């Protein structure tokens, strides 16, 4: 099953980066492959978390897909977990963690694992997904620089 992980030091605080990633409605403004994102439901979770059900539309050239995830926002622990509900995947999960760095800023830990239901779609989209995931942290850091200033 394909997976990708990156740990990246950024100049912004853990809270700033958490808030930016938790603002899922803004993803179509800056995230590679993301064409739409709609929050279908919001509800309080356990221990101060918030749970969203969100539908994301992704596309590359003539290929368009939609999928639904359950996103658990944990502001106290600066953690975000998205789990697959419905769409073209057999499995999809991604996790974000934000830890303060010595000397300021933070380390962003992003991990994703996925598998398409269709082998053909996996072959078509797999390479693009891998490239997009590598650009995700760049996209979020660029967004942070625009929102919070290039510290």
Q: Break the chain into its structural domains and give their ranges.
A: 3-148
Taking the alpha carbons at both ends of the chain, their separation in whole angstroms is 38
The pLDDT tens digits of the residues spanning 28-82 come to 999 988 999 999 999 998 899 999 999 999 887 777 889 999 999 999 999 999 9
Calpha distance 108→101 (Å, rounded) = 10
Question: Could you tell me which CATH number the domain at 3-148 has?
Answer: 3.30.530.20
Coil/strand/helix, residue 7: strand
pTM for the whole thing?
A: 0.90
């Amino acid at each position: 099953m394909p997976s990708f992980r990156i740990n990246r030091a950024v100049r912004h605080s853990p809270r700033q980066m958490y808030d930016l990633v938790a603002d899922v409605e803004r993803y179509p403004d800056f995230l590679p492959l993301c064409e739409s994102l709609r929050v279908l439901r919001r509800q309080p979770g356990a221990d101060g978390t918030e749970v969203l059900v969100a539908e994301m539309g992704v596309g590359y050239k003539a290929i368009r897909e939609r999928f639904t995830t359950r996103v658990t926002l944990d502001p106290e622990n600066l953690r975000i977990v998205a789990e697959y509900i419905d769409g073209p995947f057999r499995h999809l999960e991604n996790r974000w963690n934000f830890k303060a760095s010595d000397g300021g800023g933070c380390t962003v830990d992003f991990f994703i694992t996925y598998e398409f239901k269709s082998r053909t779609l996996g072959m078509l989209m797999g390479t693009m997904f891998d490239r997009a995931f590598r650009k995700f942290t760049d996209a979020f850091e660029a967004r942070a620089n625009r929102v919070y200033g290039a510290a």
